[in-house]
C-alpha cells in the first residue's frame, strides 16, 4: 500500500463533521508511521523462510542447535548458513537414498549420487568382471560428489603435523556422517 492509501483510510475512520474536514497534520503523521510499519511487516515475512532469512538467522540457528561441530562459528558465508539451516529444519524422510540425496541437495550438491554395495557381492555364479566385495560391504555406501573439490597440498610453510594433502567438503561429510545409521560406513568419492 502507498502512503496516500493510509491517509485515505485514516480520513475515512474519522467521524463526520466540520471539525474533521481538511488535512490534519496528526493524520498525515500517523499515515506515514503506519506505512513504515506495514513495509517492515512485509520484510519480516521474508524472514520466515530459512532459505532467505538474514536478520533472524542467529535466532533460527540457536533454536536448531547450529552451528554445530560440522561448521564452527565464523567459517561459513550467509548462503552456506542458510543452506545448512534449511537442511536441518526441513529434514524429512528416513534412512534411504532419497533422504540422503535430499540432504545433499539442500546443502547445494544437486548432482550427487549414492552407490550401495549390498548387491555387488562376488559369488561363485558371478562373472569374472563382477566387483569383488565381501558380505561386509553391505554396510558400506558411497556418496559420489558432483564437482571438483578444493585440494590443499602441504607446503614448506606448513607445520610438520599437517597432512600431505587434504581435500573434500567437511560440512557435507560431517552432516551425512551424523545422519547415517551407526552400523554403516560412508565413503565420499570426489571427481578427479
Considering the domain architecture, whether residues 149 and 74 belong to the same structural domain is answered as no
Mark whether 97 and 172 lie in a shared domain. Answer: yes
Report CA 8 to chain centroid distance, whole Å.
Answer: 43
Number of H helices, E strands in the chain: 6, 5
Domain count, the chain: 3
pLDDT exceeds 80 at position 23: no
3-state secondary structure of 116: strand
The answer, yes or no, to whether residue 120 has pLDDT greater than 70, is no
Enumerate the β-bridge partners of residue 121.
133
Whether residues 80 and 135 share a domain: the answer is no
> Does 152 lie in the same domain as 115?
yes
Residue 90 CA to residue 147 CA, distance in Å, equals 24
**102 shares a domain with 147:** yes
CA 190 to centroid of chain Cα atoms = 21
Question: 0.85 cut: is pTM over it?
Answer: no
Q: Could you tell me if 85 and 66 are in contact, meaning their C-beta atoms sit under 8 angstroms apart?
A: yes
Given 90, 112, 146, which residue is the final one in a domain? 90
* pLDDT score, position 110: 86
What is the number of other CB atoms lying within 10 angstroms of the CB of residue 166?
Answer: 13
Task: Residue 71: give the domain boundaries.
Answer: 53-90
Measure the CA–CA gap between 150 and 8, rounded to whole angstroms: 59
Residues 183 and 99 in one domain: yes
Check whether residue 98 and residue 183 sit in a common domain: yes
Question: Which residue(s) pair with 188 in the sheet?
Answer: 143
Q: Which pLDDT does position 138 carry in this prediction?
A: 79
For the cut 70, the answer to whether the pLDDT of residue 170 exceeds it is yes
Amino acid at each position: 500500500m502507498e502512503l496516500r492509501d493510509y491517509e485515505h483510510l485514516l480520513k475515512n475512520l474519522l467521524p463526520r463533521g466540520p471539525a474533521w474536514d481538511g488535512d490534519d497534520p496528526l493524520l498525515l503523521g500517523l499515515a506515514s508511521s503506519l506505512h513504515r510499519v506495514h513495509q517492515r511487516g512485509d520484510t519480516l515475512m521474508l524472514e520466515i523462510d530459512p532459505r532467505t532469512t538474514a536478520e533472524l538467522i542467529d535466532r533460527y540457528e540457536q533454536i536448531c542447535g547450529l552451528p554445530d561441530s560440522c561448521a564452527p562459528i565464523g567459517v561459513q558465508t550467509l548462503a552456506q548458513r542458510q543452506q545448512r539451516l534449511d537442511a536441518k529444519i526441513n529434514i524429512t524422510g528416513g534412512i534411504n537414498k532419497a533422504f540422503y540425496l535430499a540432504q545433499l541437495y539442500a546443502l547445494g550438491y544437486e548432482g550427487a549420487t549414492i552407490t550401495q554395495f549390498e548387491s555387488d557381492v562376488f559369488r561363485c555364479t558371478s562373472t569374472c568382471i563382477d566387483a569383488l566385495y565381501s558380505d561386509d560391504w553391505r554396510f558400506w555406501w558411497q556418496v559420489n560428489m558432483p564437482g571438483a573439490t578444493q585440494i590443499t597440498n602441504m607446503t614448506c610453510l606448513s607445520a610438520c603435523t599437517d597432512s600431505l594433502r587434504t581435500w573434500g567438503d567437511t560440512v557435507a561429510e560431517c552432516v551425512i556422517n551424523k545422519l547415517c545409521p551407526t552400523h554403516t560406513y560412508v565413503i565420499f568419492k570426489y571427481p578427479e
